[in-house]
Amino acid sequence: MHIVFAASECVPFAKTGGLADVVGALPPELVRLGHQVSVYLPLYKTVRKFLPEDFKYAVRSITVPFEYYNRFAAIVDGGVRDGVQYYFVDCPELFDRDGFYGPKGGVGDYGDNAERFGLFCRTVLEASKQLGVPQVFHVHDWQGAMIPIYLRTIYYFDPVLRPVATVLTIHNAGYQGWFPPKTIEQLLLPWDLFTFDKVEQNDTFNFLKGGLIYSDYLTTVSRTYAQEIQTPEFGAGLESVLIKRHWDLRGILNGVDYAQWDPARDPKLAAHYSAEDLTGKKECRRDLLHAFGLNDVPHTTPVIGIVSRFATQKGLDFIAQIADKLTERNMVLVALGNGEPYYENFFRDWAAKRPHQIATQIRYDESLSHKLEAGSDIFLMPSRYEPSGLNQMYSLKYGTVPVVRATGGLEDTIEEWHADERTGTGFKFYGYHPGDLLWAIDRALWVYHNDPDGWKTLMLNGMAKDYSWVHPAKEYVEVYEEVLRRRG
């Protein structure tokens, strides 16, 4: 089977979140299962550093029509990595920018994002006719959602593309791609699409909504999130569409690339360790504390770690509300991330007030995130919602006990600790109140301070979990086979 992935992010080329990890890890696993996979990405400015100076074009020019003009795109041959063929859509005036969706370090999105990702999707369709028509287009989030819309409208009578099935994965229903009504004309689509049962929502052209309606099958990134997005709390206005299509919606938990996230061989760590020999974790803890400038921390004091986008969605308002009470506990906390200025300033101020207990670095640093996973004793993820989450799964592998809110993938991957049975992998809270988070942290701290054997069992229980991509990849193959059966 030939599957074409179309996405706006993919590690190592372009990343802002978990979407990039999925598109980077799932295709190689599908190749290992015997399938042919091609991945199409925009050729952002940052992507060029991954290409050789003498890179080659797979397709020199593709004409993409708009309402009053044409644009011209090309396809750069990104080569084969782990059996996956990569292609990059080159349109410098639209993609050769510092930011992926908006000005880097700025506020808001680019005003021409509808044109940018409309062109991206149409170019993928045209390029596929020359480079290999797949059996399935697997598209991701609103940036890829125009592919099923195009296929079932203006490409409906295309004899080459008409048989191809489409699967849309929702990584975060909160990001939908809203654009003004005139986008219909700009992308040369018929006005009869602009109705509430198709792409219109609140007098906007909603890319994701259209993708949900026109795709053959829908997936999202955990079983619990698949249920949550069918409710007003998590559906972000699309819950009615998702309820209507619930028979075509499947939650498939994201996997972890253990080639990159394994404390037994992680090159970013000060020392390696495993479930059979945990001694290296102490050196990783010392290295982490040194990197954050925390000195003379007693070995009996647990280290709480946070790696996060600094945003309310991540539950950081809960942390801000319990900050004073938390610093009364015997613990130190290190935080790595950036995002909303309010939370960046909160962490800076908190660290300034308690310099011997709280430390933060306001940036994204891949190497440091590995060090934090390995060197922390407890990992904090109090997200208001979390479609899948990866850091909690990294934490399990690194013997770092997660404290999480029971939502989305966090609910699916973390099992509450039961001291009597010695079962469980972490601590969860269900409420929507900062006091619930503090109570979960207190439960973790109690076990750490009072039950060292239980704590070690907690660590080993987590390290024994397997959240590799092997099983999710097989589930995706089942989805592909199902949509191909439906299309005859």
CATH number of the domain where residue 180 is located: 3.40.50.2000
Q: Both 212 and 323 in a single domain?
A: no
Are 62 and 128 in contact, with CB atoms under 8 Å apart? no
Q: Both 432 and 388 in a single domain?
A: yes
With respect to residue 270, please indicate whether it lies within any of the assigned structural domains. no
With respect to residue 171, please indicate whether it lies within any of the assigned structural domains. yes
With respect to residue 371, please indicate whether it lies within any of the assigned structural domains. yes
With respect to residue 349, please indicate whether it lies within any of the assigned structural domains. yes
CA distance 331 to 297: 9
Distance from first CA to last CA of the chain, Å, rounded? 15
Q: For the chain, how many structural domains are there in total?
A: 2
Q: Scan for tokens 């990405």, then name that residue.
A: 41
Q: Both 243 and 307 in a single domain?
A: no
Are 212 and 245 in contact, with CB atoms under 8 Å apart? yes
- pLDDT tens readout for residues 12-68: 999 988 899 999 999 999 999 999 999 999 999 999 999 998 999 999 999 999 999
Q: Both 200 and 166 in a single domain?
A: yes
Q: Both 379 and 245 in a single domain?
A: no
Helices (H) and strands (E) in the chain, counts: 19, 18
The dihedrals phi and psi of 17, each to the nearest 5 degrees, come to -165, -160
With respect to residue 25, please indicate whether it lies within any of the assigned structural domains. yes
Q: Residue 224 belongs to what H/E stretch?
A: helix 223-228
pLDDT (tens digit, 0 to 9) for every residue of the chain, 488 residues total? 999 999 999 999 999 888 999 999 999 999 999 999 999 999 999 999 999 989 999 999 999 999 999 999 999 999 999 999 999 999 999 999 989 999 876 668 999 999 999 999 999 999 999 999 999 999 999 999 999 999 999 999 999 999 999 999 999 999 999 999 999 999 999 999 999 999 999 999 999 999 999 999 999 999 999 999 999 999 999 999 999 999 999 999 999 989 999 999 999 999 999 999 999 999 999 999 999 999 899 999 999 999 998 999 999 999 999 999 999 999 999 999 998 999 999 999 999 999 999 999 999 898 999 999 999 999 999 999 999 999 999 999 999 999 999 999 999 999 999 999 999 999 999 988 999 999 999 999 999 999 999 999 999 999 999 999 999 999 999 999 999 999 87
Q: Both 229 and 311 in a single domain?
A: no
Q: Both 245 and 290 in a single domain?
A: no
Q: Both 211 and 304 in a single domain?
A: no
Q: Which domain holds residue 96?
A: 2-255+469-486
With respect to residue 118, please indicate whether it lies within any of the assigned structural domains. yes
With respect to residue 273, please indicate whether it lies within any of the assigned structural domains. no
With respect to residue 262, please indicate whether it lies within any of the assigned structural domains. no
* Sign of the C-alpha dihedral computed for residues 132, 138, 142 and 143 taken in this order: negative
Q: Both 376 and 310 in a single domain?
A: yes
Instruction: State the CB neighbour count (10 A cutoff) for residue 286.
Output: 15
CA distance 36 to 24: 15
Q: What is the CA radius of gyration of the chain?
A: 23
Q: Both 211 and 238 in a single domain?
A: yes
Q: Both 218 and 179 in a single domain?
A: yes
Q: Both 171 and 285 in a single domain?
A: no
